[in-house]
């Protein structure tokens, strides 16, 4: 982990695959000039008459001091320079299933927001990836006879878990199923470890956590339920519930989805859509090999949000693997033309999440954008942000 002494704000973006880095030394405080900058393979030191900043790099990152080039002053940012690095990616994504052997263990499903047990001691014998959402449209190209899969939806059996881009499908027959009144469509299924439904007389299929009332997913049939990856943590039953800050969890899950889809389908543009069908964010993945090292002096004066308090309580410096994205918000009728163009483009992939989570993600992106040096916050008409992996 990077460590630092308080002083001049420092921002370092390392591209591990390109073995290059951008270093930005923030504007010193009044009376802080001149600056004495010392760069070694494992550390960076900035001395001014007012203070001294020392940034020690993680063990997997080593600078090449002799490669420094492109030194320039950018108003509002400070000094910019580029240099070579030797770096190894050490990204650890928060995965629902850490390894294939976990499929043979009994698992417990938790609400990520509050830790409430949703499904206890479920033995998952098969973890199967679902085809893309548009697979049905391609069947005609594969078959010379009528579609053999017509009107045959994919539903998991009791010990199955089907994995989609942003959700899981599980069978709840043995855990929670009860006959429903014929004339009382289900609005909300309140799931808990007590294994029962609460029925309300409105046509809706939302699955709600009994304790914190967060939307966890949707019912797909009388036995099949969709749980969104951003709302559920699945752990082997012998392990305790892991306490992960909400913003960190959401960022890591979304980053993982973007990386997996870009690798498997060469898709780099995404629409983030709520379960209500509205598009909330347009995302464009730039790269997935960034390592960001920064001192947080530049974060002062940023508006604090309760959702992001875990970020603000971090040490005075941090180092984290990240994906770099461009984004455009689409709330309150913003970017309607661009959103419509993206929705009609078949090369752009849609990720569906609970609407509240879409707003959380937008807040996280805005907060991360605001902490960047001013010159890095925009690229053309898009805003820039890093999502922690």
pLDDT tens column, 286-342: 999 999 998 755 444 444 555 555 544 444 457 899 999 999 999 988 999 999 999
Q: Look up the pTM and report it.
A: 0.84
Q: Are 72 and 80 in contact (CB under 8 A)?
A: yes
DSSP letters, 18-34, are TTEEEEEEEPPPTT--S
Per-residue pLDDT tens over the stretch 170-206: 998 655 433 332 323 444 455 554 444 444 444 478 9
* Among candidate residues 297, 363, 285, the one with its CA nearest the CA of residue 323: 285
- Whether the predicted pLDDT of 5 surpasses 50: no
pLDDT at 195: 43
Direct distance between the N- and C-terminal alpha carbons of the chain, in angstroms, rounded to an integer:
15
| Whether the Cβ atoms of residue 328 and residue 282 lie closer than 8 Å to each other | yes
Cβ contacts of 114 within 8 Å, gap of 6 or more: 209, 211, 212, 214
pLDDT for 96 beyond 80: no
pLDDT at 54: 85
- The four Cα atoms 357, 359, 362, 363 give a dihedral, to 10 degrees, of -100
């Amino acid at each position: 982990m990077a460590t630092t002494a308080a002083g001049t704000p420092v921002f370092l973006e390392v591209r591990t695959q390109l073995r290059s880095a951008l270093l930005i030394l923030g504007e010193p405080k009044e009376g802080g000039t001149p600056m004495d900058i010392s760069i070694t393979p494992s550390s960076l030191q900035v001395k001014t008459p007012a203070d001294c900043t020392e940034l020690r790099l993680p063990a997997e990152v080593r600078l090449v001091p002799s490669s420094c080039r492109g030194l320039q002053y950018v108003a509002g940012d400070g000094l910019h320079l580029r240099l070579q690095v030797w770096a190894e990616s050490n990204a650890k994504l928060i995965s629902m299933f850490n390894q294939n052997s976990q499929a043979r263990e009994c698992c417990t499903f938790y609400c990520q927001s509050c830790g409430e047990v949703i499904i206890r001691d479920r033995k998952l014998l098969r973890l199967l990836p679902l085809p893309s959402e548009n697979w049905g449209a391609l069947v005609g190209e594969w078959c010379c006879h009528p579609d053999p899969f017509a009107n045959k939806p994919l539903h998991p059996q009791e010990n199955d878990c089907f994995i989609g881009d942003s959700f899981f499908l599980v069978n709840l027959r043995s855990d929670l199923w009860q006959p429903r009144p014929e004339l009382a469509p289900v609005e909300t299924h309140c799931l808990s470890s007590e294994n029962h439904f609460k029925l309300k007389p409105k046509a809706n299929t939302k699955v709600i956590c009994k304790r914190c009332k967060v939307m966890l997913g949707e019912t797909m049939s009388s036995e099949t339920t969709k749980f969104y990856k951003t709302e559920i943590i699945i752990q082997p039953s012998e392990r305790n519930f892991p306490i992960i800050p909400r913003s960190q969890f959401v960022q890591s899950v979304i980053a993982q989805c973007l990386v997996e889809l870009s690798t498997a389908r060469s898709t780099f543009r995404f629409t983030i859509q709520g379960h209500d069908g509205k598009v909330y964010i347009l995302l464009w993945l730039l790269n997935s090999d960034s390592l960001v090292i920064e001192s947080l002096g530049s974060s002062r004066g940023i508006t604090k949000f309760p959702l992001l308090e875990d970020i603000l309580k971090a040490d005075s410096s941090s180092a984290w693997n990240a994906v770099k994205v461009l984004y455009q918000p689409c709330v309150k009728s913003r970017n309607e033309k661009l959103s419509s163009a993206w929705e009609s483009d078949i090369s752009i992939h849609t990720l569906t999440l609970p609407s509240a989570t879409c707003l959380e993600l937008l807040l996280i992106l805005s907060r991360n954008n605001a902490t960047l040096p001013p010159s890095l916050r925009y690229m053309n008409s898009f805003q820039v942000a890093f999502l922690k992996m």
